[in-house]
Structure 1
Amino acid sequence: MSVTTTTPTLAKSAFDTPGKGRGLLDIFNHRYLLKLLIGKSTSLRYRNSVMGWLWSYARPTVQFLLYWFVMGQLLGMHKNVPYFPIYLFSGLVVVNFFNEAIGNVTRSIVDNKALVRKIYLPRELFPVAALISAFVNFLPQLAVLVVVCIFNGWVPTFENIGMFLGGMAIVMPFVLGLGLIFCAVNVRFRDAQNVVEIIRTIATWSSPVMYTWQMVYKHAHGWHSWLFDIYMSNPVTVAVELFHKAFWGPVVPKDDLKALAQVAFPPHFGLYIVFGVIVTILLLLIGQMVFRRFERTFAQDL
């Protein structure tokens, strides 16, 4: 008597093709790995450091004091902008977040080359983890800003919180889209890191942090008004103005008409928000395409 056995057959669709994924959408299926990468990044940041997390407060504090002394005292900006320290710091935290995030995301694949070469996992996990780690390091600066604003009469409202969340909702995907491009290119051409350093330098001065948008508008008004439109459509600039409205605006005296005029949004700011969102979405899509194109050779290039 013979016994015949049948081997079950599985459809090809039941298996995942190595190296083939859905890009950023795969992040949601690998939340545990993302959590591990974020924990690794934050724990290594200040390992063997005496001050530890205090450096998250010390560095931006020194930077703020330096800018406040030079721009506020030496150049007299405190005479033109009421509560200039809060104006400066509320914009500076956005620029600091952008600068740290773009640097972290650009280096994320190269810094994790041991993992990239040995095992396959969605490569987008690394830049996303780097972005979230930068956000974690941003929180101490935000906490200092909130405390200072509260001591100056700031009261949180739904409008203020909405402005803050709107600013973060624009700048975070913008950094991710830009970072995906430089992150991918940096694996093959390390010159990308030098380009990013130039972008970080420009970012410090390309948004109304140490000056006001009115100064730019005054010089760009007329035949050069299109330059102001481009300037204000920058997602980082949009986020900075939203932060100003959320934290600096409420502490400005309501009986000071000149000061209230400075608090007002630029003309057509609603359109600038729309343009900023469009730029962010396009950059995120382009960044994903570039990243997917270059990731095929990550292991070899590393």
Structure 2
Amino acid sequence: MTTLDTRTEIESDDLATGGKHRLHEPGGRGGLIEVVRHRTVLSMLARRDVRMRYRYSSLGFAWAYVKPTIQFLVYYFIIGVVLGLERRVENFAVYVFSGLCLLFFFNETIGNATRSIVKNRAIVKKIWLPRQVFPIAGVIVAASRFVPQFLILMIGATATGWYFTWTGLAAAVAGVGVVVVWGLALGLLLSAVNVYLREVQNFLELTGFLTHWLTPMIKPWTLVASRLVPDLGLAGVMLLTAYLWNPLTTAVELFHLAFWSPTVDYYFELSPYLWTRAYVFFGLGVVVLAGSQWLFKRLQVRFAEEL
């Protein structure tokens, strides 16, 4: 097969239209849809990355359950009971862990996706594939680590009084949906930018740390509001609005509603416009995803050269 054969495909119109032919870049117009045609490769990449993560571990994939279990117990006994935060936030372990699961999923999604093109440089330079398969495979790997954490959350919440509600189910689905669409959108964008500016992947370590403090993962939004508004006045109101109107705060609050709220005795006060923010951020995330795909397609032209 010649170089021309490997770099182009022949698109044939129906014979009724005259049998017209033209050359185009393979998958150049398909975007994310093209990944569906390569789902076997996508599955292989995701399985490879999961196996490599636990390749030299004697416990293997069991570590995916051991770590979140230990984390949950630490939040319950050490931070909640010993340090006394259980007295401020009832069922503190479930409160923190429900937010931690989503933030870990989000940060892992963006981190895996951002490093994916550079990590697979040998494949990118030698074999043609729709380049989107690499960041999407990173999202799947992040999801494989989210599932054990979610199961531990369910066990811990059930043990402390959680019960099923349709509102809770809707909140859980909405929270995951917001995280997935924003994680994929930003991951796709940053994976392309990281090829040209390698500092991006280092910057993510800082942003990952900040997400824990810029969302109500540890302290309820009501406590943040009680400190900002009386002390800072109008500036505090503006800061609180910015704090609430971001997709991660919305997703974390939805998970609190789904898994923590049923376990406490008092009424869980929803942050203002929670469901409205969920709809807005999901829709906005889809728009950002479309924009990320558009930019990715233009930046991928020089991937092989830059790598």
Q: Tell me the TM-score normalized by structure 2.
A: 0.86
Aligned residue number for residue 21 of structure 2 = 12
Note closer, same or farther for the CA distance 1:30–1:70 as it changes in structure 2 (3 Å cut): same
In 2, are the aligned partners of 1:180 and 1:290 still within 8 Å (CA)?
no
Aligned residue number for residue 63 of structure 2 = 55
Query: Post-superposition shift, 1:141?
Result: 0.7
1:251 aligns with 2:282: no
CA distance in 1, matches of 2:27, 2:306: 16
CA distance in 2, matches of 1:205, 1:113: 34
**Matched residue type, 2:99:** G
**Matched residue type, 1:200:** G
In 2, are the aligned partners of 1:167 and 1:242 still within 8 Å (CA)?
yes
1:81 aligns with 2:93: no
1:25 aligns with 2:53: no
**Matched residue type, 1:186:** N
Aligned residue number for residue 172 of structure 1 = 180
Q: 2:281 aligns with which of 276, 280, 284?
A: 276
Residue identity over aligned pairs, in percent, reads 37
Deviations 1:173-226 (A, max 9, x none): 101111122211111221011111111111121111111111122233341322
Aligned residue number for residue 114 of structure 2 = 106
In 2, are the aligned partners of 1:229 and 1:272 still within 8 Å (CA)?
no
**Matched residue type, 1:85:** A
CA distance in 2, matches of 1:225, 1:68: 33
Query: Post-superposition shift, 1:79?
Result: 0.8
**Matched residue type, 1:11:** K
In 1, are the aligned partners of 2:177 and 2:282 still within 8 Å (CA)?
no
Aligned residue number for residue 209 of structure 1 = 217
CA distance in 2, matches of 1:176, 1:167: 14
1:265 aligns with 2:270: yes
**Matched residue type, 2:65:** Y
Query: Post-superposition shift, 1:97?
Result: 0.8
1:132 aligns with 2:140: yes
Query: Post-superposition shift, 1:286?
Result: 3.0
Deviations 1:30-57 (A, max 9, x none): 2222222222222222112112112212
Deviations 1:66-110 (A, max 9, x none): 555665356532111111111111111111111211111111111
CA distance in 2, matches of 1:228, 1:278: 22
CA distance in 2, matches of 1:78, 1:252: 12
Secondary structure of the corresponding residue to residue 38 of structure 2: helix
In 1, are the aligned partners of 2:113 and 2:135 still within 8 Å (CA)?
yes
Note closer, same or farther for the CA distance 1:73–1:154 as it changes in structure 2 (3 Å cut): closer
Larger RCO, structure (CA 8 Å, separation 6 or more) = 1
Secondary structure of the corresponding residue to residue 205 of structure 1: coil
In 1, are the aligned partners of 2:68 and 2:148 still within 8 Å (CA)?
no
CA distance in 2, matches of 1:47, 1:161: 35
In 1, are the aligned partners of 2:175 and 2:251 still within 8 Å (CA)?
yes
**Matched residue type, 1:12:** H
CA distance in 2, matches of 1:203, 1:160: 23
CA distance in 1, matches of 2:20, 2:78: 68
CA distance in 2, matches of 1:50, 1:248: 34
**Matched residue type, 2:297:** R
CA distance in 2, matches of 1:40, 1:150: 34
**Matched residue type, 1:269:** L
Note closer, same or farther for the CA distance 1:152–1:63 as it changes in structure 2 (3 Å cut): closer
Task: Decide which moves more: 92-101 or 48-57.
Answer: 48-57
CA distance in 2, matches of 1:71, 1:286: 42
Aligned residue number for residue 4 of structure 1 = none
Q: 1:287 aligns with which of 275, 288, 292?
A: 292
Task: Decide which moves more: 273-282 or 110-119.
Answer: 273-282
What root-mean-square deviation, in Å, do the aligned CA atoms of Structure 1 and Structure 2 show? 2.2
Query: Post-superposition shift, 1:11?
Result: 2.3
In 2, are the aligned partners of 1:167 and 1:239 still within 8 Å (CA)?
yes
Aligned residue number for residue 230 of structure 1 = 242
| Structure 1 unmatched ranges of 5 or more | 1-7, 254-258
In 1, are the aligned partners of 2:188 and 2:293 still within 8 Å (CA)?
yes
